[in-house]
Each structure stands twice: as structure tokens, then as C-alpha cells.
Amino acid sequence: MRKHIVAGNWKMNCNFNEADELVNGIMEILEEKELPRDTQLIVCPPFPYLEMTSDYANDSYFMVGAQNVSDQEKGAYTGEVSAEMLESMEIDYCIVGHSERRAYYGETNATVAAKVNQLLKHGLKPIVCVGEVLEEREANRQFDVVKQQVEEGLFHLTAEQMKEVVIAYEPVWAIGTGKTATPEQAQEIHHFIRTLLTEKYGKELADEISILYGGSCKPSNAKELFANADVDGGLIGGASLKADDFIAIAMSF
Ligand code: 13P
């Protein structure tokens, strides 16, 4: 059966000392508390802290993910970080297509598809974000938007490749706003995404893919969100910056 995953997206937060403290804080708690066996914890710090974080990370505690990757293989792309670089540092996961990258850096579904290809080529697992903005939700267009994001970002993949992908549903109106999707709203879209996967790749594969919820997920609401049949964990922003909260969320299954 599919894994439960709780991934912390630190976004552009923490100086080096704060990052060091945060990773240490996570480790200290995990030395005392054991996570449920089928729960994978992932920490996604900014690029400069990947090495420090993966040095600390022992696979038995958590895995490490990047927040972005180049859509190009290598060469004259100043400021970019390639999938091959991440691979050579033994980074396991990478977030792709976060709504902040779509909104502020012009990422399209085609960019997402190219980045996913780079990651898979280099053995990293993409965490692909999808989700509608508020106006789309208000116009009841969330299904169309998410369908298009999933199809254009992922449906060029073979079944073998698709197995490596994690999907995160993050309704943009719930990100950093304190407004969480209700458990029913989350389950509705997660189930919709799994149905799309079933239609394209078959039920067996669709049942193996972890679909995470993101958007103001915190210790007080994680349990009721994760209790839904198609919600396999969370992509956590703000609450992943506090070691206690982050681990409390991971203990919420
Ligand atoms: P918040 O948990 O801060 O709402 O952020 C969610 C998110 O964007 C995770 O990628």
C-alpha cells in the first residue's frame, strides 16, 4: 500500500544557524519519539542548507528534498541548480510546480513536465504540486484546473515513471492564509486526482501513489485531514518551521 508522507517545505526561511537549529530540533524529537512505520518524513530546506541537512539526516529519521530544480540538463544557466547536481548530493525528493513558482516565476505545466523529466532521469522523486486559486474555486473550476495541471504536467510519463511521483494538492487560497480546506473539500479533490490516475494508469498504480494535502496544515487539523481515504499526508509550509509542530503533524495518522 502507499506510503504516508509528511514533507516540510521551508520555502525561503531560516538563516544558517536557524536552519541548523531546526534540523537539530527535529532530530532530538525523533530520538525520543518513533514515527509510525509507514510514515516517511521529508525535509525540504533551501538549496544552501541541503548538504547540512542531508549530513544530519539518517534515512531512518527523514529524507531530504529540494524545493526546485532546473528544467535544463546542464550548462550556461546562471543561478540554476540541475537534477544531476541534486543526484550527486544524494537528495531524494524535489518539489515541482509549487503555486508560488507558478505565480511569481512564470512556471507553466510545460515547465513542470520538463522538470519532472529531469528529476526522474536522475533518480529523484518529484513532489508535484497542483491546486486552484480562489477565483477558480469560486467559479467551481477547481476540477478543470487540477485536471489540466495533472494531465499536462504528468500524463506524458510511463507507468514505471509515474510510480516515482508524489502529488501534492495545495489549494492556493489555503496556503499561508490560515484558511484550510475542509476535510471534505480535500478528500473530494484527492479522490478526483486518484480517479484521473486510475483512468490513465489503472487502479493498481493509482492506489500506490501518495497524494498529499498542503495549505495551512497544522497539528490541530492534521488528524481530520489525514483521516480521509485519499489523503496520504501533507506538504507543510509554516508549521514545518517549528520542530514540535512538524513532528506532531507527522504523528497525526
Ligand atoms: P502553509 O502550510 O504555510 O500554508 O504552506 C503550504 C505550502 O505551500 C507547502 O508547500
pTM of the model: 0.97
> Does ligand 1 come within 6 angstroms of the Cβ of 81?
no
Rounded to an integer, the average pLDDT of 7-27 is 97
Strand partners, 214: 235
**What's the sign of the alpha-carbon dihedral 238, 114, 116, 20?**
negative
Average pLDDT for the chain: 96
C-beta separation of 30 from 65 below 8 A:
no
Strand partners, 128: 96, 167
The per-residue pLDDT for range 88-110, each reduced to its tens digit, is 999 999 999 999 999 999 999 99
Tell me what pLDDT residue 59 has: 60
Strand, coil or helix: 223: helix
The per-residue pLDDT for range 151-187, each reduced to its tens digit, is 999 999 999 999 999 999 999 999 988 888 999 999 9
Return the C-alpha cell found at 55.
549530513
Rounded to an integer, the average pLDDT of 227-238 is 98
Which atom of ligand 1 is found nearest the CA of 216? 4
> Does ligand 1 come within 6 angstroms of the Cβ of 215?
yes
Report the C-alpha gap between 245 and 251 in whole angstroms: 10
The per-residue pLDDT for range 76-86, each reduced to its tens digit, is 999 999 999 99
Which atom of ligand 1 is found nearest the CA of 11? 10
Report the C-alpha gap between 57 and 231 in whole angstroms: 26
98 is catalytic: yes
> Does ligand 1 come within 6 angstroms of the Cβ of 94?
no
Rounded to an integer, the average pLDDT of 51-60 is 84
34 is catalytic: no
How many angstroms separate the alpha carbon of residue 202 from the centre of ligand 1?
Answer: 30
Which of 170, 212, 220, 221 to probe ligand 1 with, by most ligand atoms within 8 A of CB?
170
Say how many Å lie between the first and final Cα of the chain, rounded: 15
> Does ligand 1 come within 6 angstroms of the Cβ of 6?
no
Rounded to an integer, the average pLDDT of 206-230 is 97
Nearest to 97 by CA among 119, 67, 120, 137: 67
CATH of 4-250, one of 3.10.620.30, 3.40.50.300, 3.30.70.360, 3.20.20.70: 3.20.20.70
Q: Which of 55-59, 171-175, 236-240 has the lowest mean pLDDT?
A: 55-59
> Does ligand 1 come within 6 angstroms of the Cβ of 118?
no
Which atom of ligand 1 is found nearest the CA of 175? 4
> Does ligand 1 come within 6 angstroms of the Cβ of 214?
yes
How many angstroms separate the alpha carbon of residue 76 from the centre of ligand 1?
Answer: 32
Which residue's C-alpha comes closest to atom 2 of ligand 1?
Answer: 237
